[in-house]
Amino acid sequence: MTVNMKKKLSESILDKFSIDFLRSQVLKNAYGNDDTVIAKLDPRVLLAWYLVVGLVPWFVSDLWFLGACFLLVLVTTKLARVAGLVLALFAVGVFSQTGYLFIVALFFGGDVSTAAPLLVMTLKVATCSLASVTVFSGLDPDRLSNGLMWYGCPERLSFSISYAYRVLPMLMEEFQNILLSYRLRGNPPAHETWTGKVRYLVYQVKIIMQAFYPLMLNTAKRSRTTVEALEIKGYRYAAVDKQVKRMKLRTLQVTTNDFLFLALSLLWISLAMLGSALF
């Protein structure tokens, strides 16, 4: 029975990891939630908020404060309606950063006392990564790159963000097509026996590597087209021109909602500080 269950489990996990699923999750994460409370906030305000919530917990070891910060970012993540895949990755990431260290420390003769400093560290890591999940998944890419640009990030970076979100679905599709054509023409080794399975795995990995050869050539052509199109529009001059930047950033507007968000966060954090001072 357990074997059966294991088989089912691995099948359902494999189902989840098809390229189509990934594509839809990434797209959903990028464009699927621009009607949330978080997405409507001004990107500049949200980035400033992230700078505080994502940085300050590193310098504080007060448990009240850390707990309050964690709850705050938990609520904002919920409000931002982040895609499930991203949250799963977050959980794995937090564990792999600190959880495994705890297990290895136990292995080397540590005991439960090892857990206390690591627990605080885990709380810090979790708070900071959830804050970044809120900001970077909650905002849609164009607003995010505009916000970053306002803070003086290089134009290259904001261009890369906008470009990446647009080109990724295409690239994924192309990669999948190449893989499928390799599979159509290829003759995979039989994989009933154990050695056959290993050979099959090696074969798969080899195909993935080889698929990058046509992909590189295709992408080279595409990136030349992209850059030439950008050049026609005078991209390299516009990127450093102050007037163009001002025109681009004119759409950003701070509203009362932004102030309310900041004030509520401040209220919550100061309540936590009061709690730690009193008890």
List CB contacts of 63: < 8 A, sequence separation 6 or more: 120, 123, 276
The residue among 181 and 270 lying less far from other proteins, judged by its C-beta, is 270
Q: Should residue 93 be labelled a site residue for other proteins when binding is judged by CB under 8 A?
A: yes
CA atoms of 35 and 138, how far apart (whole Å): 10
Q: Should residue 112 be labelled a site residue for other proteins when binding is judged by CB under 8 A?
A: no
Q: Should residue 273 be labelled a site residue for other proteins when binding is judged by CB under 8 A?
A: yes
Q: Should residue 194 be labelled a site residue for other proteins when binding is judged by CB under 8 A?
A: no
Closest approach of other proteins to the CB of residue 133, in Å: 4
Look at the chain and count its residues.
279
Q: What is the DSSP-derived secondary structure letter of residue 99?
A: I
Q: Should residue 12 be labelled a site residue for other proteins when binding is judged by CB under 8 A?
A: no
Closest approach of other proteins to the CB of residue 251, in Å: 20
Task: Give CA angle at 100 (97, 106), nearest 5°.
Answer: 140
- Within the chain, residue ranges assigned H as helices are 2-16, 19-31, 37-40, 43-59, 63-80, 84-94, 100-107, 115-138, 141-150, 155-185, 194-232, 235-238, 242-248, 256-278
Q: Should residue 37 be labelled a site residue for other proteins when binding is judged by CB under 8 A?
A: no
Q: Should residue 264 be labelled a site residue for other proteins when binding is judged by CB under 8 A?
A: yes
Interface residues for other proteins in 208-227 (CB under 8 A)? 209-210, 212-213, 215-217, 219-224, 226-227
The residue among 1 and 101 lying less far from other proteins, judged by its C-beta, is 101
* 151 close to 47: Cβ distance less than 8 angstroms: yes
Closest approach of other proteins to the CB of residue 109, in Å: 5
Q: Should residue 62 be labelled a site residue for other proteins when binding is judged by CB under 8 A?
A: yes
* 158 close to 248: Cβ distance less than 8 angstroms: no
Closest approach of other proteins to the CB of residue 248, in Å: 19
Q: Should residue 22 be labelled a site residue for other proteins when binding is judged by CB under 8 A?
A: yes
The residue among 7 and 224 lying less far from other proteins, judged by its C-beta, is 224
